Amino acid sequence: MNLKKLFLVWGTLSCLFFLQSAKSEASGNIIKVEAENYTSLQGNVTVRGDGEPIATGYNNEKIKSVILSGASSGKFLDFSSPKEDYTSNDAWKGTLSVSDNATWKIDIPKAGFYKVTFTYNNPGTRWNSKRNVRDERNCRVLLNGDKSNLASDAGWVGWMIFSVSGYADGVTNGAVQNETSVGGNTKWNKNYMNVYIPAGKQDLTLAIEAPPGQGVYDGPNLDYIELEYIGDQYISEKNIPTIAKKFNHPGLYYTMQTLETMKKNKDQAGSVWEKGYKQLLESELSSASYTRPNDTKNYDSVTGTMFWKIVERGPYNNPDNGSSPFSKDGLAAHYNALRWYLTGDVNNAKKTIELLNGWASTLEDVKNNDARLIVAISAPAYINAAELMKHVYNSDPRISEKDKWSKKDMEQFDSFVRKLHNLLAVYYPQANGNWDALITVANMSMAVYLDDKNMFNEALRQFSRGDVVPGKLSMGALPNYVYTTGESQESNRDQIHASMGLEGLSLSSKIAYNQGLDLFKMYDHRLLKGAIYSLKYNFLKESVPSETFISDKARGAVKKPVFDILANYYRKNGSAITSVDFKLLTDGATALREGAVDEVKNPCGFINAMLFTDEAGQGGLGK
Structure confidence by residue, pLDDT tens digits, 394-433? 999 999 999 999 999 999 999 999 999 999 999 999 999 9
Region 134-160: mean pLDDT is 89
Give the strand pairing for 310-313 and 365-367.
parallel
Q: What is the CA radius of gyration of the chain?
A: 26
Neighbours of 538 (CB within 10 A): 22
List Cβ neighbours of 598 (8 Å cut-off, separation of 6 or more).
331, 604
Q: What is the C-alpha separation between 513 and 120, in angstroms, rounded?
A: 41
Region 103-113: mean pLDDT is 97
Q: What's the pLDDT tens digit per position in 556-567?
A: 999 999 999 999
Report the share of the chain in percent with pLDDT over 70: 89
What are the extents of the domains in the chain? Answer: 28-233
Indicate the DSSP class of residue 444. Answer: H
Q: What's the pLDDT tens digit per position in 201-212?
A: 999 999 988 777
Q: What is the C-alpha separation between 252 and 449, in angstroms, rounded?
A: 9
Read off the pTM.
Answer: 0.93
Res 436 pLDDT > 80: yes
Phi, psi (degrees; rounded to nearest 5) at 557: -100, 15
Phi, psi (degrees; rounded to nearest 5) at 535: -65, -40
Region 118-129: mean pLDDT is 82
The answer to whether residues 14 and 79 touch, using CB atoms and an 8 Å cutoff, is no
Does domain 28-233 sit in CATH 3.40.50.10490? no
Beta strand spans in 334-389 (E): 365-367
Q: What is the C-alpha separation between 71 and 220, in angstroms, rounded?
A: 14
Q: Is 314 helix (H, G, I), strand (E, B) or coil?
A: coil
Least confident of 22-26, 507-511, 535-539, 593-597: 22-26
- Residue 201: in which H helix or E strand, if any? strand 200-208
Task: Say how many CA atoms lie within 13 Å of 360 toward its Cβ.
Answer: 21
Neighbours of 164 (CB within 10 A): 27
- pLDDT number for residue 455: 98
Res 621 pLDDT > 50: no
List Cβ neighbours of 450 (8 Å cut-off, separation of 6 or more).
414, 417, 418
Can you give the length of the chain in residues?
A: 623
The answer to whether residues 106 and 215 touch, using CB atoms and an 8 Å cutoff, is no
Res 389 pLDDT > 80: yes
Q: If pLDDT is split at 50, 70 and 90, which confidence band does 20 have?
A: very low
Q: What's the pLDDT tens digit per position in 508-546?
A: 999 999 999 999 999 999 999 999 999 999 999 998 999
Q: If pLDDT is split at 50, 70 and 90, which confidence band does 172 have?
A: low
Q: What's the pLDDT tens digit per position in 326-364?
A: 999 999 999 999 999 999 999 999 999 999 999 999 999
Q: Helix, strand, coil: what percent of the chain each, to 5?
A: 40, 15, 45
Res 8 pLDDT > 60: no
Q: Is 41 helix (H, G, I), strand (E, B) or coil?
A: strand
Q: What is the C-alpha separation between 441 and 493, in angstroms, rounded?
A: 22
Res 76 pLDDT > 70: yes
Q: Which of 555, 560, 539 is nearest to 605 (CA)?
A: 560
Q: What is the C-alpha separation between 145 and 518, in angstroms, rounded?
A: 38
CA distances from 159 to 114, 408, 484 (A): 16, 44, 21
Q: What's the pLDDT tens digit per position in 441-469?
A: 999 999 999 999 999 999 999 999 999 99
Q: What is the largest CA-CA distance in the chain?
A: 99
The one-letter amino acid code at 100 reads D
Q: What is the C-alpha separation between 12 and 169, in angstroms, rounded?
A: 44
Res 325 pLDDT > 90: yes
Q: What is the C-alpha separation between 420 and 363, in angstroms, rounded?
A: 10
Region 460-480: mean pLDDT is 97
Report the share of the chain in percent with pLDDT over 90: 74
Res 6 pLDDT > 50: no
Q: What is the C-alpha separation between 498 and 223, in angstroms, rounded?
A: 26
Region 216-230: mean pLDDT is 92
- Alpha helices by DSSP H, 186-320: 256-265, 272-282
Q: Exposure of 214 by Cβ count < 10 A (0-12 exposed, 13-18 middle, 19+ buried)?
A: middle
Between 227 and 13, where is the model more confident?
Answer: 227
The answer to whether residues 347 and 298 touch, using CB atoms and an 8 Å cutoff, is no
Q: If pLDDT is split at 50, 70 and 90, which confidence band does 16 have?
A: very low
Indicate the DSSP class of residue 539. Answer: I
Mean pLDDT of the chain: 89
Between 183 and 322, where is the model more confident?
Answer: 322
C-alpha triplet 417, 473, 448: angle, nearest 5° = 25
Q: What is the C-alpha separation between 172 and 163, in angstroms, rounded?
A: 15
Res 213 pLDDT > 90: no
- pLDDT number for residue 77: 97
Region 18-31: mean pLDDT is 51
Between 620 and 54, where is the model more confident?
Answer: 54
- pLDDT number for residue 138: 85
Task: Say how many CA atoms lie within 13 Å of 167 toward its Cβ.
Answer: 17
Q: If pLDDT is split at 50, 70 and 90, which confidence band does 619 have?
A: very low
The answer to whether residues 377 and 599 touch, using CB atoms and an 8 Å cutoff, is yes
Res 5 pLDDT > 50: no
Q: Which of 404, 402, 405, 426 is nearest to 414 (CA)?
A: 405
